Amino acid sequence: MNSPEDSNDHLSLTIPRILVCVVLSLAFVIGVPGNSFVVWTICRRMKQRPSTVILILHLAIADLLVLVTMPIWIYSFANTWLFQIGTCKALVFAVYCSMYASIFLITALSLERFVAVFYPFAVQRWKKKTITHLVVLIIWLLSVAFGATIIPFQEIDDTEVGLQCTARIYDTNSQQVACLLVETTVGFIIPFAIISICYICIGRRIREMARPPKQRSAKLIASVVMAFGLCWFPHHIFNLISIASALMEHSHPEMADALEKISAIGVYIAGSVAFMSSCINPLLYAFAARNIRSSVRLTKLSRLLEQMSPLAKQESAKEAPLPNGKEETWTNSEII
């Protein structure tokens, strides 16, 4: 017979598992159709694909890379892990590769906005597709390189509720601290520092301008940034808790054990919230496109994506005449 303590421990693990399965199911149901629709619209409905649209396309692909693995994770958390260690490592690698790709692509989008505002003529270089594709290639190579760092340490854990692909086994505490610091620093702190600086500078420039800016695209990209940050912030918080536990293992063993227990339970919830980041972007696009005048939703989305490109706005400004015969002039505030 199980003791009351065993029953309480089992219950404490069962409730997070149920919540995780519900969240992951929602992410899969919403994210797969949504991101597939974004990819299809860009590839089939848009003949001209400026740099912003190419970055958004790869952001949707990165999200799909995670979402297609969702049924395996849902079954695993609801029951037990059925596959070999190789599959475990491959799926975790796919998740982390997507995480790095997403944050690097979002950083590139923010830098593009910054360049469009402060160096509007320099943004013309993005007209060359080779440069855009080179940037995207570098982003994916970096994502693969950083994502691969998790492979040697990922293991299958024999928990009280069955086998789970959630364990990381490090040889030493120093190795654990180094790996988690790299993950949190490269995958969160540095990119978000760059993104924050970009948008602080853009905000100051907007306030200095006399004409009120057209900010739909800027608000949309800012929403994508905030959504990604909110979804991945808990994961990196628990990374920091694990780091603190490893550092205090010898000096404060009781505190280290308490922090490790917190991290062991929180990783389930934080992981499911992180997966939600892969389904949010299509919802943001749909919300932003709601005010575009069009009877066809496909046209709405393609027009929204076209409007998000500062380069496309510059070109349309040069080519579109006004009713009085004068050419329309766009300010920096209108291309963000």
Q: Which residue has the higher pLDDT, 52 or 74?
A: 74
**Distance between CA 140 and CA 131 in Å, rounded?**
14
pLDDT tens-digit series, residues 232-269:
899 999 999 999 999 998 888 899 899 888 887 787 78
- What was the pLDDT predicted at 320? 40
Average pLDDT, integer, range 28-48: 87
Q: Which residue has the higher pLDDT, 58 or 289?
A: 58
CA-wise closest residue to 127 among 50, 53, 54, 56: 50
Average pLDDT, integer, range 102-110: 91
Question: Is the pLDDT assigned to residue 79 strictly greater than 80?
Answer: yes
pLDDT tens-digit series, residues 127-183:
566 788 899 999 999 999 999 999 999 999 887 767 888 888 899 999 999 999 999
**Distance between CA 162 and CA 242 in Å, rounded?**
23
Phi, psi for residue 103 in degrees, rounded to 5: -70, -35
Domains, the chain, in order of start with CATH, read 31-228+276-335 (1.20.1070.10)
- What was the pLDDT predicted at 14? 72
Q: Which residue has the higher pLDDT, 120 or 195?
A: 195
**Distance between CA 158 and CA 167 in Å, rounded?**
9
Question: Is the pLDDT assigned to residue 113 strictly greater than 50?
Answer: yes
CA-wise closest residue to 50 among 249, 239, 306, 282: 306
- What was the pLDDT predicted at 243? 92
Mean pLDDT of the chain: 79
Report the amino acid identity of residue 166: T
pTM of the model: 0.82
